Amino acid sequence: MSSRNVVALYCVASVATVGCAAEPARSSAASGAAVTDSFAARRLAMVEHQIEARGIKATSVLRAMSKVPRHRFVLPATVGQAYEDHPLPIGSEQTISQPYIVAYMTEAAGISPRDKVLEIGTGSGYQAAVLGEVAREVYTIEIIPELAEGARNVLADLGYKNVHVKAGNGYLGWPEQAPFDAIIVTAAPDQVPQALVDQLAVGGRMVVPVGAVIQDMMIIERTQRGVVERKTIPVRFVPMTGKPEQQ
């Protein structure tokens, strides 16, 4: 965090985001990554000192952050920094998010193993992989085709059969797969996109940074009586662009 207590984040998503059941199905390659790769000790240290120490308590989230190989989602030149407490470039003028923010948003969404989740802003695919560890199905949208394809390839290589990547306009959501039990938005719109609210299931929760110069993380819950919004922490995300003329 900065001296103004703003969480530093350069979003894993594109700057132009226009685009207790059994464990989710995935290959043994992904499941065993945390204990077989040479970065396991660094990853566990990341979870202990950057995430758990800052108050993240959900066992499923801590387990996912301990398992997902973040170094697979960064550029070769920055692999040695993969588990440090800051974002890293991933190409196309985008970055992979600070690990704490990935954990914070995942926990705030309150995801269970039964849930179907929508992510707006795939970026490198790292947040999608973490979601894939805690949810039944994940649908993720990225506007930059090159990033979408790269994330799709890495996720497939790691065996995440329950994560589905699409290049497209995040403002529109993924109506063919709605409703979603949780929605995570990794770029900041000036207002919450109504299409995403409409695609949130009753009882579902959306986690989204909202604002231009000043941004707040918002948690939006859809109840039987309507939509309830609350602010949590101040944040700094890249803007969510590609807003349709009429939502």
Q: 169: domain CATH number?
A: 3.40.50.150
Is 70 inside any structural domain?
Answer: yes
Q: Which of 223 and 35 is assigned the larger pLDDT?
A: 223
Is 1 inside any structural domain?
Answer: no
The backbone torsions φ and ψ at residue 8, rounded to the nearest 5 degrees and listed phi first, read -75, 120
Catalytic residue selected from 14, 66, 97, 124: 97
Is 27 inside any structural domain?
Answer: yes
Is 216 inside any structural domain?
Answer: yes
pLDDT average, residue stretch 22-48 = 63
pLDDT average, residue stretch 67-87 = 96
Q: Has residue 171 got a pLDDT over 90?
A: yes
Q: Give me the number of domains the chain comprises.
A: 1
Q: Has residue 1 got a pLDDT over 90?
A: no
Q: Would you place residue 235 in the very low, low, confident or very high pLDDT band (cuts 50, 70, 90)?
A: confident
Is 2 inside any structural domain?
Answer: no
Q: What pLDDT is stored for residue 2 in this prediction?
A: 37
Is 246 inside any structural domain?
Answer: no
Q: Has residue 29 got a pLDDT over 70?
A: no
Q: What pLDDT is stored for residue 28 in this prediction?
A: 33
Percent of the chain past pLDDT 70, that is, above it, reads 84
| 28 in active site | no
Is 129 inside any structural domain?
Answer: yes
Rg of the chain on CA atoms, in Å: 16
Bond preceding residue 69 cis, omega within 30 of 0? no
Classify residue 37 by burial, with Cβ atoms within 10 Å: 0-12, 13-18, 19+: middle
Only one residue has tokens 């800051």, namely 86
Is 124 inside any structural domain?
Answer: yes
Host domain of residue 190: 9-236
